[in-house]
């Protein structure tokens, strides 16, 4: 598990913000991913919330140089395996179940499992995970909650996601137990629909400098 944690951290540490994307049209995924990579955001999470999601992961994995594409909203072992076959370099789940954790243990592709309480963090640590998604971040207690966990649960690193924006991202990024944050603000739906890749690259560039 330690090797997979290192592999996951090498991806998450590429940038302070991991774009969390809902892709309605797989054809737009390549242009969108290229725009994000051009702005410095090379680790990209495509959520499995639309019929186009798996095709989008496959297209980005095959056609976007420099991108590390991951699949998010993975809810079961079947979806885990399908995302890996599509080319995902990391997997993200909103929580954890025995089925998802078993799939992760049997795969070389690292899992970023979700946790929203001290008990869930402890359970994941017992299962061998020390890098987790804190979700839904703002609704579950925000940066103040994560700061409170940093001492009793030292050695655990988080990627908070949910309700994070340009306005509050630095509150999280300043914490010692936060490696990066996840956010959708770098790829607004209207910009994606319009194919405004230059605008998205600008937003990505701003996000890339957040921890500077």
Is 210 inside a domain boundary?
Answer: no
Model confidence at 1: pLDDT above 90: no
pLDDT at 3: 87
Residue 2's pLDDT band (cuts 50, 70, 90): confident
Find the catalytic residue in 13, 62, 65, 133: 133
Q: Which of 7, 13, 27, 45 is catalytic?
A: 45
Q: What is the pLDDT of residue 143?
A: 98
Active site residue 167: no
Catalytic annotation present for 138: no
For residue 40, being part of any structural domain is answered with: yes
Q: Which domain holds residue 158?
A: 2-203
Is 110 contained in some domain? yes
Q: Is residue 147 part of a domain?
A: yes
Residues 6+ apart with CB under 8 A from 86: 54, 55, 57, 58, 61, 71
User: How many domains does one find in the chain?
Assistant: 1
Confidence of residue 95 (pLDDT cuts 50, 70, 90): very high
Q: Does 65 fall in a domain?
A: yes
pLDDT level of residue 47 (50, 70, 90 thresholds): very high
Whole-Å CA distances, 59 to 29, 33, 40, 202: 7, 10, 19, 23
Residue bearing tokens 């399908």: 82
């Amino acid at each position: 598990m330690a090797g997979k944690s290192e592999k996951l951290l090498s991806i998450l540490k590429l940038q302070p913000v991991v774009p969390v994307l809902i892709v309605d049209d797989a054809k737009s995924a390549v242009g969108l991913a290229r725009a994000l990579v051009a702005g410095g955001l090379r680790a990209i999470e495509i959520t499995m919330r639309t019929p186009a999601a798996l095709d989008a992961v496959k297209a980005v994995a095959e056609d976007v140089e420099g991108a590390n594409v991951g699949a998010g909203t993975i809810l079961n072992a079947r979806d885990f395996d399908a995302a890996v076959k599509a080319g995902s370099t990391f997997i993200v789940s909103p929580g954890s179940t025995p089925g998802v954790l078993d799939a992760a243990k049997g795969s070389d592709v690292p899992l970023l499992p979700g946790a929203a309480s001290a008990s869930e963090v402890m359970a994941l640590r017992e299962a061998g995970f020390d890098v987790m998604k804190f979700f839904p971040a703002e609704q579950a207690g925000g940066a103040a909650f994560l700061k409170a966990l940093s001492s009793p649960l030292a050695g655990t690193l988080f990627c908070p996601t949910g309700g994070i924006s340009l306005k509050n991202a630095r509150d999280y990024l300043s914490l010692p137990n936060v490696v990066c944050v996840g956010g959708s603000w770098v790829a607004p739906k209207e910009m994606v629909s319009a194919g405004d890749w230059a605008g998205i690259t600008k937003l990505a560039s701003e996000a890339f400098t957040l921890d500077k």
